[in-house]
Structures are given as structure tokens and as C-alpha cells.
Structure 1
Amino acid sequence: MFRILEKRFALSEKGAKSLVKGIFFTILLNLSLMLPAVYMFSFLDSYLRKAFDSSVSISDGIWYYILLGLGFMMIMFVLAILHYRNAYTIVYEESANRRISLAEKLRRLPLAYFGEKNLSDLTSTIMEDATALEEIFSHAVPQLFASIISIVLISIGMFIFNWKLALALFWVVPLAGGLILFSKKFQQKENIALYNIKREVSEQVQEGLETVQEIKSYNQEDRYLKDLNKIIDGYENQLIKGELKIGALVNTCQSLLKLGLASVIIVGANLILSGNIDTFTYLIFLLISSRVYGPINDVFNHLAALLYLDVRINRINEMEAMPIQEGKTTFETDNYDIEFKNVDFSYEEDKSVIKNVSFTARQGEITALVGPSGGGKSTTAKLAARFWDIDSGKILLGGYDIGEIDPETLLENYSVVFQDVVLFNSSIMDNIRIGKSGARDEEVIQAAKLAQCDEFACKMPYGYDTIIGENGETLSGGERQRISIARALLKDAPIVLLDEATASLDVENETKIQTAISELVRDKTVLIIAHRMRTVAKADKIVVLKEGKLVEEGTHDKLIDENGVYANMWNIQQESFGWSL
């Protein structure tokens, strides 16, 4: 049973057990809500029956009923506390664990997954979907199951008490429940439509935040706001339409239940006239009947909420079902040569990006990846660090297949400097220390000086403790790039990946950082990507990629002599130095 609940509601094993406990205590609370009716039945049976039959004596005094009432109140109070702890507090703990589980899952997913999903979509799943599950599981799911079980137990008791009156009361329940279940596909369709348009709103807002500079630069504010308002209006209309339809459906079912009470009145009156029941029994049954529809109404309301929950559960299950990158958590090797053997890779099926690529980047050498834009240089460098898993072939590190090494273990051996630098809204010191957790301030500052960060850091209001804003918004492109290089210097890993590491630097700073990079790459395995030919001319090996294929390989002089793709790129760039405006 627990396995079924785990799969159906995207719960952990502990969460499934907690849900069962929550349902159990909710059942007890629902049944305790019948205690006032039982109390009234007992009291009226003693005092009101005497009004219909003078020969009946009152067996229990008023103090008995006062104590009985207090006892019932105490039972309801204790059950309410137990219900809250097991149906709410535990659900919130499960919600926290779910968020942690999703974050852990994201941490172990291949980067290909993030290429297929945008930021607003992932944020929606982690925050909004998890919050919706928390709310519905605390306020609907236990109550739904508990209400169904409570109704069954109460109906059994009422059928035993008087099956004719019970039949008159409950004949509408299958009719109303069938209407809800019959409309399941319709409700799911409305829920999916609502959810999708809500995601569009989030994506549009996210896009506006990320591209605000471009929107303002090209005077597109009015167009952007017009498109945003159109999407929001669509969301509002869909929300109103969906809630109106589903609300009308639920209210219709609840109205049908009222026919059951009318049936009890009619059937009960006929039974009194025929002498099958007495007036007192009839009145008591009406009193209990007025309470029994509460749990049924709850079922209808919660069932509609549960159908809406399905959309969010499916998204979380989709993420949980994604294959993660796994492997050995320990790795030792005598060398750090990187060898590509007939590697094929594609971001999408049947759209190859890397095609049968084979080469070796040796330790102690600089291997440069060059070629026309879109040739697969950056992809090749990322594959070397297992940012993605290849389609076929092998990538070896020191003779070991990196596909069999856990990504986190593998990346302990890599220092990476990409063109797109990511910084955090923290201090310069903390942003550099990401390269080596727990590094002393002296180590951080030493790496910063090698990367020429000391020059601008010392001019900041608080020096290295200055907060640089979201993604380093207070820094220039070159300053951000130097912080990224400082991270790599601090990490001092045996393998270095440099993807346009000096692209954002002016000539003066590029010259300074080349000295730091020379220190960084000493005696290490280096893969470097650069469009400036003079940056790679002194590389020990140059690998030329074009349209995902390795077309040339060798030293600068060798490739110039071959007069191929590399020589053509070199000649074009040399000619460009003489251009003027």
C-alpha cells in the first residue's frame, strides 16, 4: 500500500507512512464530529421520549449528561490535536524533504536536462508545485480518504438502524459521485490548460527580467508589456472559466445531495403513517442526517482539488524519473591524459553535434580546440568534463572511462573557466573562494593577485569584502572574467578547461592574465578554446573542428604548411589586423 501511495502522490517512504497516519487520525476526528449527534440522541432519548410516552422513566440525571458532554468535548479536543500533528505538521516536514529531494535530483541530472528546461519552469516545479502539494496534502488528501471511510462507516451504522431511511438518504450519493468521476477528463483538461498558461506568464516575466537591457535598448517596453498583459488576461480568463465550470459542477453535486434529505422527510413520513417507525426515531434520524452530508461535501471539494493536483504530481514524477549521472565515487590515476575515442554526441535525437571525434590531450601540454563557430569546440570541452554523456565512443581520463566516474568525483580534477561567467550576490572574497571551499583569506588574495583582481578589488568600498551584486552586476566584463580565472587558480586542479577565457579583456589586461594562465596550466592537462589565433599559436597541439568533425590536428607550423582550414583562419585574422575604419 505504501508503494502505491509513494508512486501516486510523489511521496517518500516516510511521507507515505505519515499520510496513512494522517488519514487515520482524520477518520477519528470525523467520527468524533458525530459525538454531538450521539449526545443529542442520548439526551433526547431520555427526556424527549417521555413526552411521547408518559410511562417511560428518565434513567440518567442532568449531571450525567453534563459530564458526558464534557467527556465528548475532551475526546474531540485530543483528537483535534492529534489530527493537526499528523495531518499538518508531518505534511510540512514531507514538503521540506520533497524540496531537498528535488534539489538533490537537480544536482545529479546531466546538463542536457537544463538545456531542455528554462529557469522559470524549474523554479515553478521546485517552489510553486511543491507548495501546492504541501497545501493540498495538508488540507485535502487525508480529509478525502478519511471522509470516504467515515461515510462508509456511518452509512453502515445507519443502514443497521433503519435501512429504508438510510436508503432514502444515500441514494443520491452514487449519483453525485458518478457525476464528479464522469467529469474527470473534463476537469483534467481544464487544469492542464490553466497550468500551461500560468507557466507562460512565469516564462514571460522571467524573460523580461533577463532581457531588460535589450528591451530598453531597442525601445521595446510597450511591445513587451502588451504581450505580457495579453498573456495575463488569457490566464485570468482561463482561471475564471475553469473555476466557474468546476465550481458549478461541484455545487450541482452538492445540490443533488439535498434531494436525499427531502427523500428522508417523505419516506420517513410514510413510515410513520404506516406505523413502521415512531415519531421519535424519525426525528433522531433527521438530526443525524443533517450532519452526514458534511463529509460527503468535503469529498466532492477535495476530489476536485486532487484532480488539479495530478498535473503537478506528474511534473514532479517526470523530474524524479530523469536518469541521473552515476559512477565510482573514488578515482585515482597515474596521469591525466584526456583521450577521445570515436565520440559521437547530439543534444537532440538524430541531430549530431560531435561526429566520430578522436584525439588525445596529454598532461603537461596545451591542446587548443579551434574552428569555425558552431563547429563543436565548447561542446567537446564540456564533454571532456562529463557535463553531458556521449551517445557512443569513449572519453578516457588517465585510461579510465569518465562515464563510469561520478561527475562530482570527476570534477574535483578540473578547473573550468568559461566565457559566460556566473557570479553570486556575495563578496569578491566569497566568489573566488568557490574554487576551494575553506581556503584561507591569504590563499584567496594570492590567487586574486595572480589573476589581476587585486587592482580593482582594492578600489572597492570594502575591498575584497565588497558585495558585487547579482551575477556581479557592479563589475565590468573583464573584472568578472578575472574573478573566474582566480577561482581556477585557487582550485589548482590537474586539468584546466579554458573557453574564451580572455575574450572579455582588453589588450593590456589580456597580456597580464596570460602570465597568470601560464602559471595555472603548468604541468597540467589543458584544453583551451580561443578565436584569437595568436592565443593558440604556441599550443603543443591544435585540434581543428568543423561541423562537429575533426578535420585537422597538429602544431601551428604543421597546420600552416598543410594550408587547410586552420591556415585559412590564421590568414584571415592576420589580414584583419590591417583593417581600418
Structure 2
Amino acid sequence: MRILKVMNYLMKKHIFFVALALLMGIFTIMSNVGMLATSSVLISKAALHPDVLDLMVLIVAVRFFGISRGVFRYLERIFSHDTTFRILSSMRRWFYKNFNEHYSENNKNFKTGDIYTKLINDVDTLKEFFLRGIYPLITAVLTGIITSIFISYFNKKAAIIYILIYIISGFIIPVILYEFNKGYIEREAEIKKELNSLIIDIVKGIVETSIFSLKEQFTLEFNRLSVEHLAIQKRKNLIAVIGESLYSLSVSLVIVFSLLIMAPAVSMGVLEGVYYAMIPLAAMASFEALMPMPNILYKFKEANNAGTNIFSIIDSSDYKDNEYNKADKFDLVVKDLEVCEEGGENSIIKNISFDLPYGKKIAIVGASGSGKSSVLRTLLGFMRYERGQIELGGLPYSKIDKEELRKNFTYVDQNPYLFNTTVKENLLIANGDISEEDIMKKLKEMQLEQFVGDLADGLDTMLGEFGSNYSGGEKQRLALTRAMLKKSKIVLLDEPTASLDINIERKIIEEIHEDIENKSCVWVTHRLVSMEKFDEILVMDKGRIIERGTHNELINIKGTYYKLWNIQQQYITELHSFN
């Protein structure tokens, strides 16, 4: 299990708290053993009517073990849960770091629901790995060893019988029950995955579901999966009840055998009678450590499944922190870049090169599917490149932490994402220190002042899920406002004005160019507006750069760019004559 290496690495980082949690757990159970053992001796001695002073040590011992059991249980819960959340925190940092470093959009094998499941459910599943897996296992083993040594001091035969029943009850029976349950567990995991994907498809496609009357189809599929999941739960519960019954039987057997073995020893005078009840009660108390054992194999299985899922998406066996440098210069260089789909069969980008010295403005134009957007996604590290090199400030991308790298960029996607919160909070994501006055100024520049003024609560208006209540143009301008508020060095814009009216578009483009005057920019577009403002224009077709130069240079050579320009000018002329 590769995930065990990761968990082992993360647990070592918190070894002090791990050791404390284990000690508190063992002390808790041994306090229970001590309390029942001393109580039995105290009751047996008290039945002989000795002097009260002869019972004082036992009375104090019972009180000590009784109080310490509660104290150790409390400390055990604190330390074990604290350790669990420390490990979970480290696990999340490890996962998100590796996800950023290694996940690539070239991989088309995962649906959105699969990725959400891995980001949330699978990572959270691993928090149980220590608390419900490793910790109870170690506690059970050590408790069994300590108790058997204690019993052997009084009777070795009783100790052997005890440890045999302890092993069968705590380690063999759970394995047998797990084998019966394994098929149900695997199918349950598949059903949960299918349900997650189905629910996400419904939420994200609620408009399409309504338009195409798919509600009944989704409902039938959801009900089918729910019924199957309920049936599996019932079978698992039946096996769990059988396990609990076998556990109770084991406790009863250890008590019976202890009494049968100890009786001859007492009658022959080998063992004092006051200790006759102590052994079975001590053994019974130690079985508390075995109560979590039936669930341990399930936790290991869940951890293995979660680990397999996680590694399938980040595709990296490296679980140690890598050494990275931080770029302090912002000249961007792309050399012989080639990007392929997963498996390297189809090329998305083929052998492209360009320089973006700090402050330079580049436009990338071309037909849909020519690879324009893929260039931006690769620059952000969202797509993996097979060949070539990208450098920022003289440092190869492989030497720069992806999270730090992306802080240098402002990116606006052609389908911008708006969070289900207020207008103001959506904008503050870019810059938490910006004032409301500056926000309104930027909204005015993006022709959104009236839009915000017409909203019921102004900047405090909730946008709703994905901002679906607003037009594409409004969402795009909000995304542009957010982008212009961010303090970054390089701006990447992917069709930022595609949803805008042509008259508003020109005004917005003018404002954007003013905002990015002292920044580098790569602007992807198929709408050739204000192209003379760019220092260089790259024309792409089928993943290759087929032309490059300034606007005037490309017009003069009368190639692909010239044809695209003429088509757009003709469209604008017809649009104006129609109006």
C-alpha cells in the first residue's frame, strides 16, 4: 500500500503526539483491569472480616484506578483526536500540494464528480486510519501482552488459555468476518462513488435537467442505487451482530475457563482464595481493547481504496517535500513546447516557442480548437508538457512550486467561475485589502456600476450557485473586475470579452490595457479588436504557430491573420448597417 508510506511519513512528523495517544489508551484499559482486579480482591478479603487497616491499601488502589481510568480516558480522547486532526491537516497539505504539482488536465479519465470525491471524501477517509486503525491495533496488542504477563504471574496455564482466546476473538474472528463482508464493502464504495457523481451531475446540470426532462431518469437511478445501498447495509449489519455475539461468547469463555483452571489451584493451596475472582475479572476487563478490532480491517481497506484513488489522480509516488526556488524575476520564456493528451497519442500543442519579457503584451489568435487556451493552461501548470521548456525569471517550471508560481499570474477563463457568495466577497478573493471605494471605481471601469446599483443589496447581493442568475456578459465583467484587482505580474486572458456587446467590448478592452500597462500579458482571442496594442501576435492552427508579428506586419503578408481580420471587419460592417 503506497498510502501506508505516506501515512507513516506523516505520523513520524507527529510522533510525540502519536506516542502520547497510545500511552493514554493503554493506561486507560490497564486502569480498568487494575480496578476490577483490586475490587475483586478487596471484596474477597472483606468477606473474611479482617481489620479495616488491612483493607486500606486495596481501598486506595480501587479509588486510584477508578479515578485514573476517567483521567486517562479523557486524556486519551484529547491526544488521539488532536493527533488525528494534526495528521489530517498534514494529509490535506500533502495532497493539495501533490495535486497542484502532478494533476494534469491532459488526463480525461476523471469526471468532475470523481475529482470532488478524491478531494474531499478520500482525503477525509484517511483521518480514520490512525484513530480507528493503527491506534486500536497497537493498543490491543500491547494490552494483551501486558495482561497475559500479569495473569502468568499467578497461573501460567490460565495465561495461555487467556492469550489463545484473546487472539482468536480479537484477530482471527475479525478476519473471517471481514472475508464475508469484503464483497459488500467493495460494492458499497462503488455505489457511493456513483451517488456522488450523480448528485454533482444533477447540481451542476440542473438547468439542462429541467429543459430536457431528465428529472425522472435521475430519480430512478438515484432510487435504484439507494435501494441497493440499503440492502448492503442490512447484510453488513447482520454480520456485525454475529461478530458482537462471538465477542460476547469469547468473554464468557475466558471467564469460565479461568474459573475452571483456577479452582484446583485454590483447593490445593497453590493460590490464595482471595485471588480466585481476580483473574477472570482482569481478563474480562482487558477485552475492552478488542472492541474496535472488527472495524480495523475495514479501515485498512478504506484507507487502501482512498490511497489508490488519490494516487490515481496525482500519479506520484513522491511523498516527501520537494525543494523549490522562488522566482524573483518575471521574464517568461517558452521553448519548443509540446503538449499531448494522456498517453501521448494526440498532440494538443506542437513545438511552439515565444518570449514574454516583463511588460510585453502578446495576443494568441486562431480558430476554435487550435490550442490557444491550452497554451494558457500549460503556463499555469494545469496541463503537463512532454517536451520543451518553460522558464520564469530564468528558472525552469520544474524548480518552482506550482502554488507560488500561480501567485504571479492573473487568469480569466472564458467560462469564469463565480462563488456562491456576495458580489463583494467574490471580488475580495483577488485582494482582501481593497477598499469598497476602489471596488466601485473598478466596477465603473468595467461598465458594472449600474448593474451593481440595480441589485437589491448592492455589493452584498448573493450571486447564487455559479452566478447562474446573471448573463454571460455580466459574469465575464465581474471576473475581469476581480482579475484587475489582483496584484500580479503576468495576466492571462482567455476570450475575456467573448460574451460582450461589441460597443461595450471596445470600452472594456481600453480599460484592461490601461490596467495591465505595467504588466506582462498573454491574451487569447478570436475577436480581433484593438490588435494594434499588442507587441506581438501569434496565429495558431492545429497546435502550431503558423504566423507571428505585429498587427501591421501580419496584415501586410496577407496570410491567415489577414483573412481572419477581413472576415471580422465584414461582420462588424454588416452589424452596423443592420443596426
Q: So what's the TM-score if we normalise by structure 1?
A: 0.82
Q: SS of the counterpart of 1:498?
A: strand
Contact 2:356–2:520 (Cα < 8 Å) also in 1? yes
Question: What displacement does 1:149 show?
Answer: 1.6
In structure 2, what is the equivalent of residue 481 of structure 1?
476
1:357 Cα deviation from its structure 2 partner = 1.2
Q: Which runs of 5+ in 1 are unaligned?
A: 51-57
**Kept in 1: contact 2:537–2:550 (CA 8 A):** yes
Q: CA deviation at 1:114?
A: 7.0
**Cα 1:459–1:364 shift into 2, 3 Å:** same
1:246 to 1:308, Cα distance in 2 relative to 1, 3 A: farther
Q: What is the distance in 1 between the residues matched to 2:271 and 2:521?
A: 96
Q: Which runs of 5+ in 2 are unaligned?
A: none
1:198 matched to 2:185? The reply is: no
1:104 to 89, 93, 104: 93
d(CA) in 1 for partners of 2:247, 2:238? 14
Residues 1:6 and 1:254: Cα distance change in structure 2 (over 3 Å): farther
* Larger mean Cα displacement after TM superposition, 88-97 or 212-221: 88-97
- Report how many residues are paired: 563
C-alpha spacing 1:293/1:20, structure 2 compared with 1 (3 Å): closer
One-letter identity of the residue aligned with 1:75: F
Is the 2:339–2:386 Cα contact (8 Å) retained in structure 1?
Answer: yes
Q: Is the 8 A contact 2:259 2:276 kept in 1?
A: no
Whole-Å separation in 1 of the counterparts to 2:432 and 2:271:
82
Q: Which amino acid aligns with 2:38?
A: Y
Q: How does 1:167-566 map to 2 (within 5 A)?
A: 167-176=160-169, 177-181=171-175, 190-245=184-239, 248=242, 251-252=245-246, 255=249, 258-264=252-258, 280=273, 283-284=276-277, 287-288=280-281, 291-292=284-285, 294-295=287-288, 297-298=290-291, 300-311=293-304, 314=307, 318=311, 327-332=324-329, 336=331, 338-351=332-345, 352-361=347-356, 365-397=360-392, 399-491=394-486, 493-522=488-517, 524-534=519-529, 536=531, 539-556=534-551, 558-559=553-554, 565-566=560-561
> Would you say the 8 A contact 1:10–1:317 is kept in 2?
no
CA distance in 2, matches of 1:76, 1:130: 38
Counterpart secondary structure, 1:331 = coil
Deviation at 1:7, TM superposition (A): 4.7
Q: CA deviation at 1:64?
A: 5.0
Shift of 1:545: 2.2
Specify which of 84, 103, 110 is matched with residue 113 of structure 1.
Answer: 103
RMSD: 3.9
Pairwise CA distance, 1:230: 1.8
Q: Does the CA contact (< 8 Å) of 1:27 and 1:150 recur in 2?
A: yes
Change (3 A) 1:395 1:94: same
| Partners of 1:419 and 1:499 within 8 A in 2 | yes
Following superposition, the deviation at residue 501 of structure 1 comes to 0.4
Shift of 1:380: 0.5
Partner AA of 1:19 in structure 2? V
Q: For the residues of structure 2 that align with 1:153 and 1:69, how far apart are their CA atoms?
A: 23
The answer to whether the 8 Å contact 1:102/1:126 transfers is: no
**Matched residues in 1 for 2:132 and 2:392: separation?**
53
Q: Which has the higher relative contact order, 1 or 2, with Cα contacts under 8 A spaced 6 or more apart?
A: 2
Q: 1:243-291: CA deviations, max 9, x gaps? A: 4446545644654565555545665677789x58689479536743762
Question: Which residue of structure 2 aligns with residue 81 of structure 1?
Answer: 71
Cα deviation 1:56-78 (Å, max 9, x = unaligned): xx5x4246547733542343223
d(CA) in 2 for partners of 1:471, 1:242? 39
Distance in 2 (CA, whole Å) between partners of 1:395 and 1:139 is 45
CA shift for structure 1 position 293: 6.4
Give the 3-state SS of the residue equivalent to 2:277 in structure 1: helix
AA paired with 1:240?
K
Mapped to 2, the partners of 1:412 and 1:276 lie a distance apart of 80
Question: Which amino acid is 1:72 matched to?
Answer: V
Match of 1:54 in 2: none
Whole-angstrom distance in 1 between the partners of 2:104 and 2:95 = 9
1:29 paired residue number: 28
Distance 2:442 2:289 in 1: 68
